Amino acid sequence: MFPLQSLSLLMSPNQSRAIRLFLLLVALLSLSLPGVRAKETEPNFLIIAIDDLNDYVGCLDGHPNASTPNLDRLANMGTLFTNAHCVSPVCNSSRTAIWTGLRPTTTGIHSNPVGWFREKPGVGKVVTLSQAMLANGYASYGYGKLYHQVRSSEGEWLRSQAYFYGPLQDPKVNFNAGWTLTDWGVPPNGVRASHDAEIAQRTIGALQDSHDRPVFIGCGFYRPHTPMYAEQEWFDLHALDGVRLPRGAVEGDTEDLVYFGKRERRPQDVEAPGLWTHDWVEANGNWQEIVQAYLASTSAMDHELGRVLDALLESTLCDNTYVICFSDHGYHLGEKRHWGKATLWEMATRVPFIIMGPGIPKGVVCNKPVELLSIYPTVMDYAGSTPPHDLDGRSLRPLLEDANADWDHPAWTTFVDHHALKTERWRYIRYASGEEELYDTKNDPHELTNLALGLADKPAIVETLNTMRNQLDGFLESKP
């Protein structure tokens, strides 16, 4: 930058005393300007949120047909957390936790129907991450779906634009399952598949702008959230006859379930169906088609993410920007006969989570259990800022500096009044009824065998259960 160039010129013996004094004054003046100093010393942040993306990602090897070259590229540029989990397996509570740094057990925002956190006593005035960055001298821009609601808090963004996922240009585009949120396919001519291209373009504009201070940019993509619309080229990429059904969808897998396996996701209505039920999908022969649409929607989103990543790499911000990319929660496509999210199994809680930036080693894979709740404290840590309130999560900086660092912190996911803990090896679920599930995900990655049943001759399993019971009890007792 100019101040450093001026200082180097000062040292030249060929310069006259007057010129050197002039250059000294220019350099000191430039260094005193807040915007210039910030660009030299303060990091930038690009937060990329994806909606409803599970592990059907190339670098996570969740589905043999997955094609996500840009997510894979981003993973090679930083740290990929392979055991990352959402704080809650639905949009509203997950995103509220990310932006406030507070768990559902703290805010009371534990599901979608509970509403907007700004309207809740006790948490309505909480300082969100983007507000904290504004207060620390950042320019804060947000585009797309960052919150569940199509709004943001007053004073959060200097510039923003939110979009709703549907209907798009034609509210009558319901040409498959009969309702917008359960629709899929290539939209008719004149109907765009999603707003993701526009969200990407606005984010690119923010990256290319001139800035007099560091920037904090939120980019929220909608796909692969339903309706699973994508252009024909992405369906062609995943030809139907080659699409495999989910690896974890095994006949009889629901026999040892104690809660979610005993009920339908939502009642199915012929006139206006809710989310798909497995019986409906099988009866109509649409399983393969919907998986294809999910893969196509994911690849379409990945393409737009690639455009944003290219713009960052070509910008003046590239060497001093942290990128944090994640999905708000996972998604079932028939595993355990379930469709959608809102469960405490691996497919609904495990998410892609990648962080890259200055000083972070490239191409690192970390298998420690981590939570999206760590985004707020991690940004504060790398920004050198003090959080405006006590945060429920912890910074991931120790793992970003050493993926094998000691980390005895299970990931805790909450849905309404049900809870799950995830360690490197185990998943423990306790429902409000007191019923439990336990899975050895190291040896049983698809969670096919609930080890919490028939414990009479399983002393080692009882010991593991007791350990995780005590951990969850301790977490719950520590919350208000």
59 among known catalytic residues:
no
* pLDDT, tens digit, 9 for 90 and up, residues 5-26: 333 333 344 445 554 444 334 3
* pLDDT, tens digit, 9 for 90 and up, residues 388-401: 999 999 999 999 99
Q: How many CA atoms lie within 13 A of 44 on its CB side?
A: 24
Average of per-residue pLDDT values in the chain: 85
Q: What is the domain partition of the chain in residue ranges?
A: 1-32, 37-408
86-90, 163-167, 464-468: range with lowest mean pLDDT: 163-167
* pLDDT, tens digit, 9 for 90 and up, residues 431-461: 999 999 999 999 999 999 999 999 988 999 9
* pLDDT, tens digit, 9 for 90 and up, residues 56-109: 999 999 999 999 999 999 999 999 999 999 999 999 999 999 999 999 999 988
Mean pLDDT of 36-47: 71
Residue 10, φ and ψ in degrees, nearest 5: -60, -30
Model-level pTM greater than 0.85? yes
Set 63, 85, 148, 278: catalytic member: 148
110-114, 171-175, 241-245, 414-418: range with lowest mean pLDDT: 171-175
Closest CA to 103 of 399, 475, 431, 423: 475
- Tell me if residue 85 falls in helix, strand or coil: strand
- pLDDT, residue 11, reads 36
**Both tokens assigned to 178:** 């009969």
Distance CA 425, CA 413 (A): 16
> Any idea which residue has 């930058």 for tokens?
1
Closest CA to 426 of 83, 72, 20: 83
User: Selecting from 3.30.470.10, 3.40.718.10, 3.40.50.620, 3.40.720.10, what CATH number does the domain 37-408 have?
Assistant: 3.40.720.10
- pLDDT, residue 150, reads 58
Higher pLDDT, 299 or 183: 299
Question: CB under 8 Å to 336, separation ≥6 — which residues?
Answer: 248, 249, 253, 254, 257, 260, 261, 343, 345, 347, 447
Distance CA 65, CA 242 (A): 8
* pLDDT, tens digit, 9 for 90 and up, residues 331-369: 999 999 999 999 999 999 999 999 999 999 999 999 999
Q: Is the pLDDT of residue 153 over 60?
A: no
Higher pLDDT, 186 or 261: 186
148 among known catalytic residues:
yes
Set 59, 86, 91, 366: catalytic member: 91
> Any idea which residue has 């199994």 for tokens?
345
Q: Is the pLDDT of residue 199 over 60?
A: yes
- pLDDT, residue 279, reads 86
* pLDDT, tens digit, 9 for 90 and up, residues 222-253: 999 988 999 999 999 999 999 999 999 998 89
**Both tokens assigned to 290:** 């919907």
CB 358 within 8 A of CB 323: no
Say if strands 353-356 and 321-327 run parallel, antiparallel, or are unpaired.
Answer: antiparallel
- pLDDT, residue 15, reads 46
36-45, 160-169, 187-196, 290-299: range with lowest mean pLDDT: 160-169
- pLDDT, residue 180, reads 64
